[in-house]
Each structure stands twice: as C-alpha cells, then as structure tokens.
C-alpha cells in the first residue's frame, strides 16, 4: 500500500465527521488492521514472560465475563418464557398428580368420537382388575375402600378417645364382628336354632325327616306376624313412611314381595335341573338346613323344591319393575277394614296391630293404609286359599316361612354358613375369593350404627369449607338447569313457571346431619340399640329390632327430613316426597370433589352428580310430585303428553344397548337415564357460567386438553368399572341404573357440546344424527 494512501488515514476522522458520517475509503479497514497487527506483534515481543501471563489471564477473564453475561441474558429470557408458561399451566402438586391420574386411566389409542368410554377408561380397566372377594370394581368401590380405612383407624383408637356411648357401641359391634376369640365359630348353628325355637312353631330341624307336624294350633297369621316382627319380608313388604299424597304425615304402606331371589325373571320359564341359578339356589337351601342339623338330605331337597315352586308362583303374580314406573297408578288408599275384607286370607287387623304393639300403638279399622300392589294381594289371596286348604299346602307354607328366616339370618353364623352363602353368591354375581374380614366388619358396622361411625369419619375427613363449596356448586347447577328451561320447546309457559318454582324449592342436605356432632343427641339416637362385644348374632338381632322400632314408631309422628344414608356413604340421592337432594360427606372427596384441582374436573364429576339428583325431581317419576313433595298433577296435561313423547326417545336409545348380548331395559332404567342426561347438561352449562365469571383456568400439564374436554373426561372416569358377566346380568335384570359404560356413552351421544368440544364428525358413533333431549 502507498504512503499516500496511508497518509490519507491521518485525516480520516475529520473527513468522516465533516461528511456527516459517510463511509471511509474502501481500503480503510484493511489498512487499520495491518497497522494494528504489526504494532501489536512488536509490543507482544517486547513483553516480559510475567506480563504475557498477566495479559493471557486478563483476556481469559474478559472472555468468561462476556460468556457469563451472554448466558445470564439467555437465562433471563428463558426464565421469562417459563414464567409465561407457568401462567398457562397449573403445576401445583395437586394438578400434576391429577393430570397423571387422568392420563394413566385413558387409552389414547382409541378414537374418543368412536368409543369415549374406552378412550377415557381403557387404561383404568387394564390396571385395576377385580380384587378377590368382589364381583365388580370401580371408582365408587375405591372411594369406599378409602373411607373404610379412615373408619377402621378411627374405631381402633382407645375407648378413652370416644366422646359418646353411641361411638363406643359402634366399636363394640365391630369387635363382635371381628370375633378375635372365635366365639362365632364356637356357637355354630345354636343362635339361629334358639331363635327358631323361640318362635313357638314346634319345629325341630334335627328331627326333620318328614313333613312338619300340622295340627289345630297351626296358624298362618301368627307365623306371618312372627317373621315380619323380625323384619323378614315374607309374602309382601310392610313399612311406615311419608304419605306420597300428603308428605307431612306418615302412613302404613304395603307392597308386593316374598321371593328370595332378587328378580322374578330368575324363576320364570326355568327348571331347577337345567338352570344354573335355580340349581345353585336349591343347593344353598339344602346346605343351610343340613348345617342346622336336618338329618335327611333327600327329604330336605324335596321340601326345598316345593318352596322354590311356591316362590315361582309368587314371581308369576309379581309386576315387573319396568311396568311400575307410574307411581300415581300404583298408589291405592285403603282403610284397614277394607283391606281385611278385600284380602281375607290374612287377618290384617290383627297382623297390623301386633306389629304396632311393639311401639305401643294401635290402628283403628277406619285408618288408612296405602297399598302399591292390590292386584298382587288379590292373586296372593287366591294362592293362599288353595294352600291352607290341604295339609301338604300348610307344610309348604311352613317350610317357606322357615326358609325366609334361615336365609335372612344364616350369614350371621359361623364360617360354614358364610361359605355356603359365598358359594351361592358366586353363581349369582361371579363373586370369587374373599375380601379382608375387617372390610366386611366395617361395612356391617356402618349398616348397624352408621351415624355413630359417621361422626368419627366426619371428624377425620370433612374439612372446613367443604359444605360451603358444595353448596355453591349446587346453586350454580340449579341456576343452569333453570336457565335451560326456555330452550325446551315441549314446555309451555305455565308448566315452565311451575318447574322453575319446584327447582328453586329443592332442598339440599350436604355432608352429614348436624345431630351426629352433638354427643347427647347422638346417644339419644342409639339409646335403644344394645350391643355386646361378644355376641355378633345377638347384636344383629337387636339391630333388626331397633330398626323395626324406629320404622314403625313414625306412624304417629310428623314426617321429617331424614338421612337415608350414613355420612361415609359414597353415593347421593333424591327424595321425591320431600323434594330433597342429599350428598353425604363420603362422596364429597376426590376424585368427585377437590377444592385444589381445576373446577372443570369438579363440575365434570361432582357437578354432574348434583345435576343428576336435581333432575330426578323432573324425571318420569319425580315429575309426579310438586314442590312440596306431594303427588299431584301440577303440569299442563298437554305438556305431560309432549314429555312422554320425549322420554320415548330415551327408552328406545337405551334399549338398543347390549351387554354380553343382552339388551338393556330402557323402560326400567328410564328415570336414571333422564337424570344422567339432564345432569350432564346442567353441570356443563354451570361450568361455562363459572368460567365467564371467574375467567379461564390454568391448563393441566402433559394432557394437551382444553378444560371443556377435561370436563367430559372427568365425567366419564367416574364410571370406570370392571365387573363379572354374572354381575352385569344381575344389574340388567334388577337395577334401575344403566351399566356404567352406557351411563357414559348415552348422555355424551346426546350432547351437542361434547361433539363440538371433541370435534366429532357427523359420521362418528359418538355423534349420531338423532339425539334425545328431555331436560
């Protein structure tokens, strides 16, 4: 490069400035670089070794500073990104845990628009086989097992920790059931034989190798009274409850009954030699009598075959459940005198007053009785007339009544009796293996002293604020239900206004009755219950007497709102005659209800349960009761016709569903199906209103799902279930609820919101063109 060129650079700074920042000549950078390198190399060569080392260290330090500064800037940027991400996602331990639970319960290989039940529950069903001692296993059973553990830990505490005698009675009963001293086994059949001897029928089972001795003292009415005093429902059922047409008073009520197997279909068009259930039933009957000392197996078998034949006659005159849904048609008012004249084979005046004598009451012939099955009683009267006319018939009736006593109480005896029952239940429900004994004993204790045990449970689990949050959710679901009524084109304005009035009048009972936390009131509740920790059979007999007393003493009392379920129960219910919905503390827990998880999950699970119970007040049976719980016509007649047309769609839809090749009974399950569909819609709309008021919730991690999608997922996973084919068959025959899968598939198939949220095409199975809508 020429010296002239180089000299130009001596004036470059001024020229650059004077030119207003114009660029230097093209060769300026290279000239500067060359000059810098030459000067730098000269200076470096003249440095001492120490100075060189110092320069290297300083350079390295500066390089590290630059790198760290860059990393810090990058980290700060990443932290900002993470902070933004944290605002989108809920990363609390509760949210992470529930996200994991939801994810592992799913089967994401299944298309949610083809089978949402498998999509939501496939993983759960694979990972939760039915445990030993159970014939079905689902979310409800898991929650009950959790609740049982709470109760077990509470009841195992020292006596000094209990604050009431009622709680101590619960503990003593549990101890008698656990039977650590083997007193139940040592007693064998004796407790039941003593009870039979105390009936005064002159029956000696150990000498039973021919028909029962029938003489002039034989009295059907006395024998029938004897068994009903032990709360055994022979021939028919009788109880005291609020009057459907005047819910402020209690009335004696009678209905059909008398068969030991749970449904008439188990008897009809069957033969003992060919039918699996009847064959197992006969074997069970013979086994129990042999365990009680019957000496002749062949003769005992012959007698029990005759009992089955008699029960088959009762089954033939029993009206199927699916034909008993119109409660206004079932209701018939009789006076005691009229029922005695209409069905004279039973001395009803004597029968009723002997039962009421236990509670020091007496019914006059002019007083009312409600009969729900007069046709059954009329046909029963004819059957009894033919049986009491012959000695053989009287022997069969005696064997039948005795069998009812034996079958009801044998489960309280020693292990051979319980094993015989378990073997029979295996044929009925597919039950195999044995559950832990303490599980059975806690369940029994809950049945005998549920509010005393429930007091311990509530103190352990029902945290402050739970009632208030549940109440808020109920009110939101109710508001959503009411807001949807104008969208129903089958409702006229008058009926709609009455429905709004009834919905607003529905009372809610949440958690537990207040008296259980008052030791004095709790003790009064169980004052007449006597418990001995060394007498399990006696305790159950006393419990039966106690419940009989509590039922029949209500006849002269004003009808009150009562809890039909104990606080630890994992369930909920609606009482039409009181227009009341009830949610025990046992179900107000995760996964149904958890204040620490997104509300989409709470509304999808517990919100739907609440909507379900609320909708029961407007299903095919609940609609027959007004806002006060009285059975009356409060709808416009034309609205009733349009409602019935809408329900036919539900009946037809569910009747098409099949389980193991067996069609569901759409008429029998109608009320529950209406409630499932209405509950889902009300809860979803309630959640949408909650979001509008409170804003969008943080997403759950790893799922990649919106909260609207999570709502439906949460709803479905409540019904994740495994069950034996025998249990499924039993449910189809006897249960007013649809099987778990159809409780998911049915309502979602009718939901436009579900199809929109999961983007289901019009050709997918979960988005049929025809949808059923009642509420």
Strand partners, 249: 558
> Edge-to-edge strands of the sheet including 507-511?
507-511, 580-584, 573-575
CB 542 within 8 A of CB 191: no
Whole-angstrom distance, CA of residue 323 vs CA of residue 670: 11
DSSP 242-258: EETTEEEEEEEEEEE--
Q: How many CB atoms lie within 10 A of CB 314?
A: 23
CA distances to 250, 539, 565 from 244, rounded to whole Å, are 9, 34, 20
> Edge-to-edge strands of the sheet including 332-335?
236-243, 246-256, 368-371, 332-335
Whole-angstrom distance, CA of residue 430 vs CA of residue 466: 38
What SS3 state is found at 719?
coil
Phi and psi at residue 519, to the nearest 5°: -55, -40
Strand partners, 243: 246
CA distances to 20, 114, 601, 683, 698 from 707, rounded to whole Å, are 61, 21, 8, 13, 9
Strand partners, 573: 582
Catalytic site includes residue 419? no
CA distances to 452, 523, 586, 601 from 449, rounded to whole Å, are 6, 11, 16, 33
Closest CA to 678 of 514, 526, 482, 541: 482
Q: How many CB atoms lie within 10 A of CB 67?
A: 10
Which residue among the candidates 242, 404, 676, 697 is catalytic per the annotation?
Answer: 676
Which segments of 89-138 does DSSP mark as H helices, in order?
Answer: 93-105, 116-127
What SS3 state is found at 204?
coil
CA dihedral of residues 416, 417, 420, 424 (deg, nearest 10)? -160
Phi and psi at residue 528, to the nearest 5°: -90, 5
Tokens 């005795």: give the residue: 402
Phi and psi at residue 706, to the nearest 5°: -75, 165
Sign of the C-alpha dihedral computed for residues 474, 475, 480 and 486 taken in this order: positive
Tokens 């804003």: give the residue: 695
Whole-angstrom distance, CA of residue 55 vs CA of residue 763: 77
Query: Does an H or E element contain 680, and which?
Result: helix 670-694
Q: How many CB atoms lie within 10 A of CB 704?
A: 9
Whole-angstrom distance, CA of residue 193 vs CA of residue 199: 10
Which segments of 46-92 does DSSP mark as H helices, in order?
Answer: 49-88
CB 774 within 8 A of CB 678: yes
What SS3 state is found at 89?
strand
Query: Does an H or E element contain 393, and which?
Result: helix 391-409
Which residue among the candidates 242, 404, 533, 613 is catalytic per the annotation?
Answer: 613
Q: How many CB atoms lie within 10 A of CB 659?
A: 18
Closest CA to 405 of 262, 284, 226: 226
Token pair belonging to 769: 């063109």
Token pair belonging to 276: 């699996």
Burial of 278 (0-12, 13-18, 19+ CB in 10 A): buried
Catalytic site includes residue 626? no
Token pair belonging to 203: 């029956």
CB 568 within 8 A of CB 495: no
Closest CA to 673 of 622, 604, 583, 747: 747
CA distances to 151, 512, 513 from 455, rounded to whole Å, are 10, 9, 10
Tell me the catalytic residues: 613, 676
């Amino acid at each position: 490069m020429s010296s002239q060129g180089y000299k130009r650079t001596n004036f470059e700074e001024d020229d650059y400035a004077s030119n207003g920042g114009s660029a230097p000549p093209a060769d300026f950078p290279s000239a500067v670089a060359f000059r810098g390198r030459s000067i730098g190399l000269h200076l470096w060569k003249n440095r001492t070794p120490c100075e060189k080392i110092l320069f290297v260290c300083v350079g390295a330090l500066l390089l590290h500073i630059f790198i760290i500064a860059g990393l810090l800037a990058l980290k700060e940027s990443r932290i900002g990104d993470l902070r933004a991400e944290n605002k989108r996602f809920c990363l609390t331990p509760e949210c992470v845990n529930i996200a994991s639970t939801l994810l592992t319960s799913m089967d994401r290989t299944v298309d949610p628009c083809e089978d949402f039940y498998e999509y939501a529950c496939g993983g759960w069903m694979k990972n939760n086989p039915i445990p030993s001692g159970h014939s079905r296993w689902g979310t409800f059973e898991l929650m009950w097992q959790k609740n049982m553990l709470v109760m077990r830990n509470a009841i195992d505490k020292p006596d000094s920790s209990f604050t009431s005698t009622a709680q101590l009675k619960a503990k003593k009963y549990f101890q008698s059931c656990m039977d650590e001293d083997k007193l139940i086994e040592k007693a064998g059949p004796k407790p039941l034989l003593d009870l039979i001897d105390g009936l005064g029928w002159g029956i000696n089972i150990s000498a039973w190798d021919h028909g029962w001795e029938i003489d002039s003292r034989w009295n059907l009415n006395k024998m029938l009274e004897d068994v009903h005093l032990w709360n055994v429902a022979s021939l028919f059922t009788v109880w005291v409850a609020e009057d459907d047409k005047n819910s402020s008073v209690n009335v004696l009520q009678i209905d059909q009954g008398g068969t030991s197997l749970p449904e008439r279909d188990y008897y009809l068009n069957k033969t003992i030699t060919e039918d699996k259930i009847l064959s197992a039933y006969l074997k069970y009957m013979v086994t129990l009598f042999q365990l009680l000392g019957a000496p002749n197996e062949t003769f005992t078998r012959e007698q029990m075959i005759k009992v089955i034949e008699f029960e088959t006659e009762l089954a033939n005159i029993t009206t199927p459940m699916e034909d008993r849904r119109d409660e206004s048609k079932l209701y018939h008012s009789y006076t005691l005198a009229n029922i005695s004249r209409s069905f004279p084979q039973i001395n009803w005046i004597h029968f009723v007053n002997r039962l009421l004598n236990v509670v020091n009451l007496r019914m006059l012939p002019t007083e009312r009785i409600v009969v729900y099955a007069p046709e059954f009683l009329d046909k029963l009267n004819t059957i009894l007339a033919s049986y009491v006319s012959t000695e053989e018939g009287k022997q069969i009736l005696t064997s039948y009544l005795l069998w009812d006593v034996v079958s009801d109480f044998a489960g309280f005896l020693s292990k051979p009796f319980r094993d015989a029952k378990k073997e029979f239940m295996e044929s009925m429900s597919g039950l195999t293996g044995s559950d832990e004994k303490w599980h059975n004993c806690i369940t029994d204790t809950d049945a005998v002293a549920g509010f005393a045990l429930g007091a311990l449970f509530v103190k352990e689990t029902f945290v402050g604020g739970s009632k208030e949050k549940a109440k808020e959710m109920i009110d939101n679901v109710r508001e959503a239900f009411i807001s949807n009524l104008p969208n129903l084109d089958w409702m006229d304005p008058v009926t709609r206004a009455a429905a709004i009035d009834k919905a607003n009048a529905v009372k809610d009972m949440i958690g537990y009755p207040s008296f259980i936390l008052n030791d004095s009131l709790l003790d009064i509740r169980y004052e007449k219950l006597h418990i001995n920790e060394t007498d399990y059979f006696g305790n159950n007999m006393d419990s039966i007497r106690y419940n009989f007393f509590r039922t029949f003493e209500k006849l002269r009392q004003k009808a009150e709102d009562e809890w039909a379920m104990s606080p630890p129960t994992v369930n909920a219910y609606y009482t039409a005659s009181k227009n009341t919905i009830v949610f025990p503390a046992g179900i107000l827990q995760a996964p149904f209800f958890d204040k620490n998880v997104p509300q989409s999950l709470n509304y999808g699970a517990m919100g739907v349960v609440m909507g379900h119970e609320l909708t029961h007040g407007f299903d095919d049976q609940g609609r027959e009761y007004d806002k006060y719980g009285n059975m009356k016509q409060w709808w416009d007649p034309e609205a009733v016709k349009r409602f019935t047309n809408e329900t036919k769609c539900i009946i037809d839809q569910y009747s098409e569903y099949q389980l193991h090749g067996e069609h569901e009974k759409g008429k029998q399950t109608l009320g529950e199906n209406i409630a499932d569909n209405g509950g889902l819609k009300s809860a979803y709309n309630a959640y949408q209103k909650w979001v509008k008021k409170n804003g969008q919730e943080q997403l759950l991690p790893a799922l990649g799902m919106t909260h609207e999608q999570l709502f439906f997922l949460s709803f479905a996973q409540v019904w994740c279930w495994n069950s034996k084919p025998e249990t499924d068959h039993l449910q189809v025959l006897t249960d007013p609820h649809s099987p778990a899968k159809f409780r998911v598939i049915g309502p979602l198939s009718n939901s436009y919101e579900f199809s929109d949220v999961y983007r289901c095409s019009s050709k997918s199975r979960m988005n049929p063109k025809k949808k059923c809508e009642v509420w």
